[in-house]
Chains A and B, each alone.
Chain A
Amino acid sequence: MSDSADHPLLEVRNLVTRFSTQEGDLIAVDGISFDIERGQRFGIVGESGSGKSATLWSIIGLIDPPGSVVADRISFDGVDMLGMSREERRRIRGSRIGFVMQDPLAALSPVFTVGEQIAETIRCHESVSRSEAKRRAIEILDSVGIPDAAERVRTYPHELSGGMRQRVAIAIALACNPALVIADEPTTALDVTIQAQVLELLEELCKERGVAVLVVTHDLGVIGRFADHVAVMYAGRIVEQGPTEQLLRSPRHPYTEALLVSQPRLDSERRAELPAIPGAPPNLLRRTPGCAFQPRCHRSNGRERCCEDDPVLHAVEAEHASACHFSDELGEIGAASRDG
């Protein structure tokens, strides 16, 4: 909390996460950097296997062997997390950084009441009495919009609906008043109508409490609705990054463009089957020279530079960066289509 407006809440510099396998090192996250400001809603979007979940787990220090994490810097609230002991990192998890997982049914213990699961989170980070923890559990359940919270603390997860369970998961994440909430595909396991409600709730609560949110999803609709800043990940790297509105309006990387085309819109009436991006993500065990997206790229057309040079993230506008050699081309096309 402290003195701190001069540094971002979360600072990630050159994060690399690798898993050593029998067939060599698998680089899941390949040198990514980003900042999250206080109260900001930051989104990471990408296909499964793009390294977006590995990024989250790396930040909170939960990558187990054979995985390993190195970075120039991961600091939270000005404190370097890489230098912390396991115990210190554990104390931050759940209290200063809340976590919401994808499937609330799988993420909640089936054999304890939801009240107990919220209360144990509070009690493991703060020295409060059992009854005080329970009182706060009811309070927080109430604030995530669960009716009859005093009654519902005694129910088990399997007795609740999917939306209610995700609300419980959010309640757990917020139980100790964190400064940052990390949400891994928080709406993927939910029905469409429930998705919107949960997003709205998350947004409302975070605004109310001034909490920053890092949300990871494969769904650009979620990003568009929720995040004010977005990073697009492909094959372990950030390929494009910028303010959400600008990035979605005029993407400067062909992968983002392809994602936009293949994306059903959250608010659209027709949810017809849309074509996925043709081809498969690359083999992360054996990187080939050149742009990782090149084999699937509809703009490359086999240009030599795409196959030989590894593109780096560069600024295309203020706060907007792209890792495409031909990001200018896309800018022109975008501008042309807007004008026309």
Chain B
Amino acid sequence: MSTAASPADVEEFLDGAARARRTGRVDPVLLSGCVIVGFFIVCAIFAPWIAPHDPDFQQADGLNGIGPWAPFDSSYLLGTDELGRDYLSRLIYGARVAIFIAIVPNAIAMVIATLVGVSAGYFRGRVDTILMRITETVMVLPAFLLALALISVAGSGLWVVVIALVLVSWTYAARVVYGEVLRIREATFIEAARALGASSWRIIFRHVIPQLRGLLVTYFTLNAAFMVLTEAGLGFLGFGIQPPTPSWGAMIGASRDLLFWPWLIILPGVCLALLGMGFYLLGEGLQRRFGPRVPTARL
């Protein structure tokens, strides 16, 4: 603080985020996001070692007289499902589907978004008009319904689900990338590179895309939550990753009429909400720490 004292200066001085940055303490938001997401990644990778039982095996003593075991009532820690399978093991294996969904379709969507956003933002002109017109139109359409229609016709194979998820999410990302490229494009060093006669592709790969890294990482994290929740929605309707592979959304869908045994619905939902929250917190934390601010498009 060399100069001081107008009210505006004081406001800035008191700004909490700046203070946190100065003191270099760990942001609790970022930390909790890391812990939650890390926990589920560990579950996904080490599922066979962590899970106490085979998730698909119908245990001989898996059902009591009237139905599945409730949590903490038997040797099955979180109870069993209506077919007598160990619920804890199914939840742990369910993390595998969730993490796969969070990464694979998400990454594909990011690649498409980057290609579209960078081409439109860098080349401008007609390319820009056409690409962004298409992007914005697709963005407005009811993507979930279109994805359902696609799956209903093509069957819910793994890759059809992946394609459906890419379909519903690439547009938001493309628009965010596009906005950022427009900003980067104005930077003087890009002017300089162009003046020196560098080719467009060279500038794009050497100068533009590296600058998008922070934005893409942040957006990838936020979008992961959206992917997981959307796949759960498809699974709930019976069009997600197919049984017997345990998927949290499908587990809820299978139990939706079994309100007498609420834990069958509650537990997978808690897992979904936790993982979703973990990704959002992680994304929010990354954003605070590294900026750039991802425009608040609903994910």
Q: Which A residues lie at the B interface, using CB under 8 A?
A: 19, 21-23, 26, 28, 48-51, 53-54, 57, 63, 66-67, 236, 280-281, 283-285
Contacts and interface: CB of A to CB of B under 8 A. Distances in A.
Contact of A54 (B6, B13, B19): B6
7 contacts: A19-B10, A21-B13, A22-B14, A26-B5, A53-B7, A54-B6, A63-B7
B7 A285 contact: no
A285 B1 contact: yes
B14 A28 contact: no
A53 B10 contact: no
Given A21-B10, A26-B10, A66-B14, A280 B2 contact: yes
Contact of B1 (A19, A23, A54, A236): A23
B2 to A, nearest CB: 5
Contact of B10 (A48, A67, A236): A67
B6 A285 contact: no
B22 to A, nearest CB: 10
Contact of B5 (A22, A23, A28): A28
Nearest to A27: B5
Interface of B: 1-7, 9-10, 13-14, 19
B239 to A, nearest CB: 44
A51 B5 CA distance: 6
Given A21-B10, A67-B7, 7 more contacts: A22-B14, A28-B4, A28-B7, A28-B10, A49-B3, A283-B2, A285-B4
A54 B2 CA distance: 18
Contact of B14 (A21, A50, A53): A21
Pairs of residues from A and B, 8 with the lowest C-beta to C-beta distance, nearest first: A284-B4, A49-B5, A19-B10, A28-B5, A284-B5, A49-B3, A280-B2, A281-B3
Contacts of B14: 21-22, 66
Nearest to A286: B1
Contacts of B1: 23, 283, 285
B29 to A, nearest CB: 21
Contact of B4 (A22, A26, A53, A63): A26
Given A21-B13, A21-B14, A22-B19, A53 B6 contact: yes
B9 A49 contact: yes
Contacts of B9: 49
B19 A28 contact: no
B4 A49 contact: yes
A283 B10 CA distance: 13
B4 A281 contact: yes
A236 B2 CA distance: 15
B11 to A, nearest CB: 9
B6 A48 contact: yes
A86 B165 CA distance: 56
A63 B11 CA distance: 12
Contacts of A285: 1, 4
Contacts of A54: 5-7
A50 B4 CA distance: 8
A152 B102 CA distance: 55
A240 B4 CA distance: 21
Contacts of A26: 4-5, 10, 13
B5 A280 contact: no
Nearest to A235: B5
Contacts of A21: 10, 13-14
A222 B95 CA distance: 70
Given A21-B14, A22-B19, A66-B14, A236 B7 contact: no
A22 to B, nearest CB: 7
B19 A50 contact: no
Nearest to B8: A53
A54 B9 CA distance: 11
Nearest to A62: B7
B3 A280 contact: yes
A53 B6 CA distance: 7
Residue of B1, B5, B7 with most partner-chain A CB within 10 A: B5
A324 B9 CA distance: 28
Residue of B7, B9, B13, B19 with most partner-chain A CB within 10 A: B7
Given A21-B13, A21-B14, A66-B14, A57 B7 contact: yes
B45 to A, nearest CB: 44
Contact of B6 (A22, A49, A66, A280): A49
B6 A28 contact: yes
A44 to B, nearest CB: 13
A218 B114 CA distance: 49
B106 to A, nearest CB: 38
Nearest to B4: A284
B18 to A, nearest CB: 11
A51 B14 CA distance: 18
A21 B6 CA distance: 13
Contacts of A63: 7
B232 to A, nearest CB: 40
A284 B1 CA distance: 9
Residue of A28, A50, A63, A67 with most partner-chain B CB within 10 A: A28
Given A21-B13, A21-B14, A22-B19, A283 B4 contact: yes
B52 to A, nearest CB: 51
A104 B146 CA distance: 49
Contact of A50 (B5, B7, B13): B5
Contacts of B6: 28, 48-49, 51, 53-54
A107 B90 CA distance: 60
B295 to A, nearest CB: 20
A283 B1 CA distance: 7
B183 to A, nearest CB: 23
Contacts of A50: 5
A148 B14 CA distance: 46
Nearest to A57: B7
B156 to A, nearest CB: 48
